[in-house]
Copies of this chain bind each other. A is one copy, B any other.
Amino acid sequence: MSQPILRRTFAEALGSCLLLATVVGSGIMGAKLSGGNVAVALLGNTIPTGAILVVLILTLGAVSGAHMNPLVSLAACLRKEMNWSELAPYALAQLCGAVLGVFAAHLMFDLPVLQVSTHVRTGSGQWIAEAVATFGLIVTILGCVTHARQAVPYAVGLYITAAYWFTASTSFANPAVTIARSFTDTFSGIAPSGIVAFILAQLAGLLMGLLAAQALGYHPQKT
């Protein structure tokens, strides 16, 4: 990729910021307006999240790859599509951007900027869900990068649209998102005590996804 690293990390931070502003903001909006019908609130959280993912990957993909997820950057390094030296800057930009996005959502909805979630998410069902969600995300990305590159933005947006509903955890599938969502005590939050297990489950899903991609012949792409 020919873009300078500073521009690329800016793109990752910006994308992660808008992604989290959407996840957290639409969660607040949905919960506020749905009159207690959680399924309606989740629809109001799902549709915007899927939509903004398509937008961000279309808009930022040509700049930085629009990973917005340390596991996707890690996968790119493992597949030699990205230099290892770029992993830390990418992950840091993603995490900082994501946390800023949570703050932005709080500001927009007139809520205290600094919050800590009290929404406990734990248990084997949730962990299996995170592994499955991450597995599916990795297979989707690697498969479409190999065989349907132009469709990657749509595939990722639609995958997360589905995964919000078919996984018991509503599919975090992203360590930066997981950490950032511990900073909001609203609809989409996760209590800090649940973070480590979620990230371990996501790593397990990544590993399985890479093995499946190997078996499916999704070989690394020159970029």
A residues with CB within 8 A of B:
3, 7, 10-11, 14, 18, 21-22, 24-26, 29-30, 33-52, 54-55, 58-63, 104-105, 107-110, 123-126, 128-129, 132, 136, 139-140, 143-144, 146-148, 151, 153-155, 157-159, 161-169, 212, 215-217
Contact B216 A144 (CB under 8 A): no
| Cα–Cα, bound, A125→B41 (Å) | 21
| Residues of chain B contacted by A51 (CB below 8 angstroms) | 50, 158-159, 161-162
Besides A62-B143, A108-B168, 15 more A-B contacts (Cβ < 8 Å) are A14-B139, A14-B212, A22-B165, A26-B162, A37-B39, A37-B40, A43-B43, A45-B165, A46-B47, A48-B161, A48-B163, A49-B162, A52-B159, A60-B216, A108-B129
Contact B59 A140 (CB under 8 A): yes
Kindly list chain B residues whose C-beta atoms are within 8 Å of the C-beta of A30. Answer: 39, 165
Q: Is the CB of B25 within 8 A of A33?
A: no
Is A63 a contact partner of B144 (Cβ separation < 8 A)?
Answer: no
CA distance A153 to B159 in the complex (A): 13
**In the complex, A129 Cα to B110 Cα: how many Å?**
10
